[in-house]
């Protein structure tokens, strides 16, 4: 109804202006908020309605502005191809037979019902049946639209391009210690901790730094045996055997060299840190008794840390060892770290249905702390260009993926495709299109519905025609 009112108002304005222009003339100046002057009308033609400046299918009979202050585009009668050209009266040069070039095959129900008629008719609501011309219903399922319908629906096409598909997988993660950089301090014999150095949990210690003084009868006995072998002038296997006993008890090398220098057995021996790092655990107490294997200190080096990232099961096939990852710690605003996937764990997590991957990051300033939450961005995609179409061009029903091929002259053909990776607003097409094709990117659902309707009507008409044919027995004389 609004369209009919618009056309009536447009016709009245054209008659009032009395100006005629050639088809395809484009309006160059938007009229101001009010009536256009006679000079402007003479230059650009009478404006019959106004259209959204971005080309969207929105129209107005009065001048309007967009929310950002832009004027709607004025459209003269000559620029609107949706107006049907009047039929020309038959002349001697153009006989009446020329009007019959487009032959009507049948009329279909305007509401899309499977009902056709060989002659014009109206439905129960008084709506005219829509004519279907020859050539509009082809066997390939294509559909042909008039220029006016294409303009009103806002259908647009884009070429199939060959480009690399890049996508970002975002997933949460957590910083963990490198398991290879954690060590414990324990005794291999039964002894006593005489005193503990001034170190506590969280302190940074260096390799060879004294942590405590240890006394043990077993250690003193081994030291006495080695000293006796030195004083007796033993050489070869005897001396090496005595020294090996001290090494088997994990006696620090500095304590053995001090024994060799002073030739005196100390009451207690300083026990040293085996590596650089932070003390995670301190169980040693002054005067305590320690048995073999008791953990007295636990030390971790944080110069290199792991980031464990949980990715969804569906995203796992896109990730390989060596994939680039950007890490953004939530507690370090503005800082980013980059690394590569070093390991994909072989098992999934049952509760979350996620897979775990590991990224190793250098941490020289120890800004990354264990158990810190991070947000990871995993870069995936195809290294080589592939055939791709805009994501808006794909019609996906869950079991069917298709695109509409723009064959030109208003004809569109639905075609099933096989899809690959997605990213950057594009989707890879592994089968179904060629690089020279053009696909519909907007209003494709409307065109697809038109195509499905034509296919259904064609099947209905074929079934009806077969049922109306006489059987062979009846046709026999």
Query: What digits encode the pLDDT tens for the residues 140-181?
Result: 567 777 777 777 777 888 899 898 888 899 999 999 999 999
Rounded Cα gap, residues 157 and 439, in angstroms: 5
Query: How much is the pLDDT for 454?
Result: 56
Q: What is the mean pLDDT of residues 447-456?
A: 60
Q: Which residues pair with 345 in a beta bridge?
A: none
pLDDT over 50 (residue 476): no
Nearest to 354 by CA among 320, 313, 307: 313
Tell me if domain 152-161+385-466 and domain 170-178+302-381 are identical in fold. no
pTM listed for this prediction: 0.59
**Cα angle: 263, vertex 267, 272; to 5 degrees:** 90
Confirm if 243 and 173 have CB atoms less than 8 A apart: no
Domain ranges of the chain: 2-79, 152-161+385-466, 170-178+302-381, 189-292
pLDDT band at residue 358 under the 50/70/90 scheme = very high
Portion of the chain with pLDDT greater than 70, in percent: 75
So what's the pLDDT on residue 199?
96
Q: What is the pLDDT of residue 455?
A: 56
53-95 pLDDT, tens per residue? 887 777 787 888 888 888 988 888 666 554 444 444 444 444 4
- CA distance readout (Å), 297 to 1, 65, 186, 206, 333: 86, 74, 7, 13, 34
What mean pLDDT is predicted for residues 227-233?
87
Instruction: Say yes or no to pLDDT of 477 above 80.
Output: no
Between the two ends of the chain, the Cα-to-Cα distance in Å is 56
What is the structure's pLDDT at 348?
94
CA pair distance 72, 53, nearest whole angstrom: 5
Mean pLDDT of the chain: 79
Q: Over the stretch 13-52, which tens digit does the pLDDT of each residue have? A: 333 333 333 333 333 334 444 433 333 343 446 787 788 8
The whole-angstrom separation of Cα 210 and Cα 270 is 6
152-161+385-466 to CATH, choices 1.25.50.20, 3.30.70.380, 2.40.420.20, 2.60.120.10:
2.40.420.20
Across 4-8, 173-177, 439-443, 445-449, the highest mean pLDDT is recorded for: 173-177
Q: How far apart are CA 176 and CA 236, in angstroms?
A: 48
Radius of gyration, alpha carbons of the chain: 43
Compare 332 and 48 and report the one with higher pLDDT.
332
- At 281 the pLDDT is 96
Between CA 154 and CA 358 the distance in angstroms is 48
pLDDT at 97 over 70: no
Which of the residue ranges 208-222, 229-243, 404-418 has the most confident prediction, judged by mean pLDDT? 208-222
Would the pLDDT of 344 be above 60? Answer: yes
Torsion of CA 88, 89, 95, 97, to 10 degrees: 70
How sure is the predictor about 411, in pLDDT bands with cuts at 50, 70 and 90? confident
- Looking at CATH, the fold of the domain delimited by 170-178+302-381 is given as Elongation Factor Tu (Ef-tu); domain 3 (2.40.30)
């Amino acid at each position: 109804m609004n369209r009919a009112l618009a056309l009536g108002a447009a016709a009245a304005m054209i008659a009032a202006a009395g100006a005629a222009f050639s088809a395809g003339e484009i309006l160059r100046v938007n009229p101001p908020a009010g009536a256009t002057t006679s000079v402007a009308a003479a230059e650009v033609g009478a404006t019959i309605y106004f259209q959204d400046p971005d080309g969207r299918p929105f129209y107005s009979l009065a001048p309007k502005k967009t929310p950002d202050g832009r004027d709607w585009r004025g459209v003269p009668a000559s620029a609107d191809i949706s107006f049907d050209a009047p039929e020309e009266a038959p002349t001697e040069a153009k006989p009446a037979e020329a009007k019959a070039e487009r032959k009507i095959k049948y009329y279909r129900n305007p509401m899309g019902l499977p009902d056709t008629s060989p002659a014009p008719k109206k439905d129960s609501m008084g709506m005219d049946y829509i004519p279907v011309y020859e050539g509009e219903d082809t066997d390939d399922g294509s559909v042909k639209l008039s220029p006016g319908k294409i303009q009103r629906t806002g259908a647009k096409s884009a070429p199939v391009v060959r480009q690399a598909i890049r996508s970002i997988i975002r997933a949460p993660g957590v910083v963990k210690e490198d398991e290879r950089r954690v060590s414990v301090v324990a005794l291999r014999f039964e002894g006593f901790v005489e005193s503990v150095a001034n170190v506590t949990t969280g302190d940074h210690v260096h390799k060879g730094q004294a942590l405590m003084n240890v006394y043990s009868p077993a250690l003193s006995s081994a030291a006495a045996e080695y000293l006796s072998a030195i004083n007796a002038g033993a050489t070869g296997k005897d001396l090496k055997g005595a020294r090996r006993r001290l090494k088997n008890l994990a006696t620090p090398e500095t304590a053995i060299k001090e024994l060799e220098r002073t030739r005196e057995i100390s009451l207690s021996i300083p026990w040293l840190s085996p590596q650089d790092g932070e003390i995670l655990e301190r169980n040693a107490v002054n005067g305590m008794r320690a048995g073999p294997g008791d953990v007295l200190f636990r030390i971790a080096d944080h110069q290199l840390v792991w980031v464990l990232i949980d990715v969804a099961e569906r995203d796992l096939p896109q990730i390989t060892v060596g994939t680039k990852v950007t890490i953004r710690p939530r507690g370090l605003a503005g800082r980013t770290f980059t690394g590569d996937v070093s390991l994909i764990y072989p098992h999934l997590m049952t509760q979350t249905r996620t897979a775990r991957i590991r990224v190793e990051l250098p941490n020289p300033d120890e800004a990354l702390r264990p158990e810190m939450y991070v947000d990871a961005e995993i870069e995936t995609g195809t290294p080589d260009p592939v055939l791709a179409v805009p994501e808006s061009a794909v019609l996906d029903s869950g079991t069917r993926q298709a695109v509409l091929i723009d064959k030109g002259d208003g004809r569109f053909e639905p075609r099933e495709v096989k899809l690959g990776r997605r990213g950057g607003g594009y989707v890879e097409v592994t089968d179904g299109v060629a690089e020279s094709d053009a696909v519909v990117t907007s209003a494709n659902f409307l065109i697809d519905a038109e195509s499905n309707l034509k296919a259904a009507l064609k099947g209905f008409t074929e079934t009806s025609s077969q049922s109306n044919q006489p059987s062979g027995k009846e046709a026999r004389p």
